[in-house]
Amino acid sequence: DVSMPTTQGSDVPTSALALLPLPEPDTLDEPQLCGRACCWCSKPLSNDTAIDLGQRTSDTHGGTASWFPRTCRGCMGPHVQQTAEHHARICEQCVDDVAVCTMARALRLLSLEHAR
């Protein structure tokens, strides 16, 4: 089994979070960019309610800027499910045997972790 970096306090590989398609940073407001609001629905977040999606970088005006997307539980589930379905359609390993696909397992773990 391949070992992958995991999110802090979690068994979920960071690569699973990186698969989640996020809104374009230039479409977000300041609270969404800095993680005080959900990057998808704009719901205000606290440290207790936010799910950290990891620091991201984007090219802006000829340079690179960091942003810190977080999400609420209500948005996390549907986006993980959508990503898992998309991955299963394009992954040769998933077509052959989803049980041995490392990324499919990581997305399932991500879904289970945030379903609680």
Summarised one tens digit per residue, pLDDT across range 83-115 is 999 999 999 999 888 888 989 998 988 888 876
**Whole-angstrom distance between the N-terminal and C-terminal Cα of the chain?**
26
* Res. 5: pLDDT tops 60: no
The C-alpha angle 6, 10, 15, rounded to 5 degrees, equals 30
Q: What is the pLDDT of residue 3?
A: 37
Residue 93 burial (CB count, 10 A): 15
Report whether 4 contacts 19 (CB < 8 A).
Answer: no
Amino acid of residue 102: T
pLDDT tens for each residue of 50-82: 999 999 988 866 778 899 999 999 999 999 999
Report whether 103 contacts 87 (CB < 8 A).
Answer: yes
